Amino acid sequence: MSRSQNGWSAGPDHEIGGLDTSPVPGTTVTLPQGVRRGDVATVLLFVAERFHHTVEPLHAHQCWGYAYRKIRGSSSVLSNHASGTAIDLNAPAHPLGARGTFTREKIAAIRRILAFCDGTVRWGGDYRHRKDEMHFEIVRPAGQVALIARKIELARHHAG
């Protein structure tokens, strides 16, 4: 079984339990190939939803999910996109390698989303070397992701 950089199984969609191609909740924006079905989708679609409402509106055709590929610039390490556990939001405005593509206020809003997710999601703007400010990824195992997915479902239930 191949694994992506974060340790999640990677491969064609039928090998990783399928992909969820639902639109980001409350929007018509889709992540073209979707994200890993189940708790990962719950968490990453929540991140995209909160990004849309509290950071900046999502633009159609500029957001990405699953892609079976290696990390750009690496000959061997599979990208977390290859396990369906990473998303890119408003990619053209926040290109790989660029720094400072978000205002201070927007970064504060991103921090609030990450805080809600209790360390299960990492932002590419926090990479130490090459920044990837469009990018959000799961960095914890399934058990912890499940807890955050339940927390999101509870929050939705109480809001709805």
Interface residue with Zn ion among 29, 88, 89, 121 (CB under 5 A) is 88
Does residue 135 bind Zn ion (CB under 5 A)? yes
Burial 78-114, CB ≥16 within 10 A → b, else e: bbbbbbbbbbbbbbeebebeeeeebeeeeeebbeebb
Q: What residues numbered 12-71 form the site for Zn ion, per CB under 5 A?
A: none
**Please, which residue, 42 or 79, has the CB nearer to Zn ion?**
79
Alpha-carbon gap, residue 27 to 87, rounded angstroms: 16
Query: Which range in 15-23, 25-33, 52-60, 87-95 contacts Zn ion by CB under 5 A?
Result: 87-95
Query: Which range in 6-14, 23-31, 111-119, 131-139 contacts Zn ion by CB under 5 A?
Result: 131-139
Query: Which range in 19-27, 66-74, 80-88, 98-106 contacts Zn ion by CB under 5 A?
Result: 80-88
Provide, rounded to whole angstroms, the least separation between the CB of residue 96 and Zn ion: 8
Does residue 133 bind Zn ion (CB under 5 A)? no
Q: DSSP alpha helices (H): ranges in the chain?
A: 39-54, 104-116, 142-159
Place of tokens 């199984």: 9
Place of tokens 């058990």: 143
